Amino acid sequence: MLKYLLLLLFVISLDANSIKIASYNVENFFDLEKNNSEYQEYIPNGSSLWNQRSFDVKIKNLVKVIEDLDADIIALQEIENRELIQLLQKELPKYNYHSFIKYSQSAVGLGILSKIKIKDTKHIDVKFRTKFYRPILETTFVYENTEFKIFNNHWPSKAVGESYRIKYAKSLQDRLIKIEKDYDYILLGDFNSNYNEFETFKKSQKLNNTRGITGINQILNTTLDEKYITYNDILKEEKKVHYNLWLDISSNERFSTRFRDENNTPDNILIPSSLFDNKKLSYIPNSFTVFKPDYLYKNNEIIRWKMSDDKFIKIHKAEGFSDHLPIFANFSINKEDRNIIKEIEENKEEIHTIADLYKEEKLTKPFILNDVTVIYKDNEKAIIKKQNDRAIYIYKNAEDLKLGFSYNLQINQIKDYNGLKEIINFVIVDEKKRINNYEDLYLNASKIDIFDFKYQNEVISNLKGTVKNSRLYINEDKYIKLYSRDKDFIPKNTEEITILNAQLAPYKGNMQIIIHKQTDYKIGK
């Protein structure tokens, strides 16, 4: 039933009254006029070759992306000045309206191109004593007699600690508190914060200078008590909370940038309860998308603006696009859309399979998994699986589960850890029976694509290769990372090994093999 409803949502999104709203960090769009605020590599007609040729390619490529994206409203970051926004308007005549803001001391500002009428433009000041970043651009739109706001953000990068982004979040939240709860608005842009920033930044002493508090999660309230705001509870909260649209897509697909081969989500779209209250403007559930045609994203690489790697001076190659991918979502004023969430919840079937568990971000009520088999055990950790179903990892408190036994389990809480789905709280309802052939539920690694994220948490066998620098080389060019909490468990360089029963797991956008025990592999092929 749910899949048919989602198909219905897609059809509805194509309605004439739907609005596509996008955000795109274009990566340093400068003109050819020197004003002493530009970055060193963008000084016009200098040794970096930021010249007419480079500029022409940059604007041509930017226009192509915006044309192909075809959003009704697109928020842009890293635009040097209003004149460049107006130049884009000339190249893109469908966009009759624009807004722009920038501090004079800053290198870049924020802009909006719109096919929809702009009623008003304001900004929220966020200033520091010694550093200049950007204000927050507040733009008010009117569409079919419906008024709404978009707040375009570009928060400080992670060259500085979280306290800087906290200041942006507090400035924004102070403004939002003054807006009526049922007023429609959208927060978007480059927040330089992952949707799960409260988890990802904790390991960095430099970033975590706020005792675990983040701007995007705890100040803008995309989480409460370290649990994400979801469809199920956004209308129930008295606080001004926000739903992060990254939760609408699979965790392994959540990225708009990649840094050091890891997925990141600095670009976000956050929406309040008013966009779910069945009044005026409404979000169309599951319409959030990362725009990544082949010319922007290919072979696991974002095709960014190219510059030489010369350590003394960066030189423009006059090719490429941006280090960010655009993101967008669809909204509607159709009366027919107004009870969509309620319809989804009313028709949503109970979760009975592990595969369905992967679609959930947070459990609002316990549910039962019947006849699951423990196929791997390591003290308090375990992996469970059902025949013709997926496997999933139990992170802790699995001491009472026995290897090779089947159970009925009540699942109370799940978690997404950097792309890895985990059960973190459960209760044994019933111990069923011993399964003598539980190893039949392992996957033969030679017969599957071990890099396909659909195989996460599976126990794999029969994978052979040579170890080099904690990587298992299957051949000269193809390898997968080996990880273990105990480094002594990792085979030594040049050793040839065969994986016997090890966990396949993603981490920040890259698949790896987790070695829990030395018996997970044998030396020799």
| More confident site: 9 or 310 | 310
| Separation of alpha carbons 99 and 121, rounded Å | 7
Q: Are residues 429 and 471 in the same domain?
A: no
| Separation of alpha carbons 436 and 320, rounded Å | 56
Q: Are residues 329 and 376 in the same domain?
A: no
Q: How confident is the model at residue 9 (pLDDT cuts 50, 70, 90)?
A: very low
Q: Are residues 259 and 373 in the same domain?
A: no
pLDDT (average), residues 373-397: 94
Q: Are residues 283 and 408 in the same domain?
A: no
Q: Are residues 192 and 337 in the same domain?
A: yes
Q: What is the end-to-end Cα distance of the chain in Å, rounded?
A: 48
Q: What percent of the chain has pLDDT over 70?
A: 94
At which of 439, 459, 488 does a domain end? 439
Q: In a 10 Å sphere around its CB, with 0-12 CB exposed, 13-18 middle and 19+ buried, how is residue 524 labelled?
A: exposed
At which of 345, 362, 383 does a domain end? 345
Q: Are residues 97 and 235 in the same domain?
A: yes
Q: Are residues 172 and 205 in the same domain?
A: yes
> Do residues 418 and 199 lie in contact, with contact meaning Cβ atoms separated by under 8 Å?
yes
CB proximity list for 225: less than 8 A, separation 6 or greater? none
- The tally of domains found in the chain comes to 3
- The CATH number linked to 516 is 2.40.50.140
Q: Are residues 294 and 239 in the same domain?
A: yes
What is the model's pLDDT at position 192?
A: 97
> Do residues 276 and 231 lie in contact, with contact meaning Cβ atoms separated by under 8 Å?
yes
Q: Are residues 446 and 428 in the same domain?
A: no
Buried b (16+ CB within 10 A) or exposed e, 92-115: beebebbbbbbbeebbbbbbbbbb
- The CATH number linked to 382 is 2.40.50
Q: Are residues 416 and 497 in the same domain?
A: no
Q: How confident is the model at residue 343 (pLDDT cuts 50, 70, 90)?
A: low
Domain that holds residue 207: 2-345
Q: How confident is the model at residue 76 (pLDDT cuts 50, 70, 90)?
A: very high
Q: Are residues 335 and 368 in the same domain?
A: no
Per residue in 293-322, pLDDT tens? 999 999 889 999 999 977 778 999 999 999
| More confident site: 205 or 330 | 330
At which of 293, 310, 345 does a domain end? 345
Q: For 145-181, give the DSSP string.
A: TEEEEEEEEE---TTS-HHHHHHHHHHHHHHHHTS-T
Q: How confident is the model at residue 362 (pLDDT cuts 50, 70, 90)?
A: confident
- The CATH number linked to 97 is 3.60.10.10
Q: Are residues 282 and 402 in the same domain?
A: no
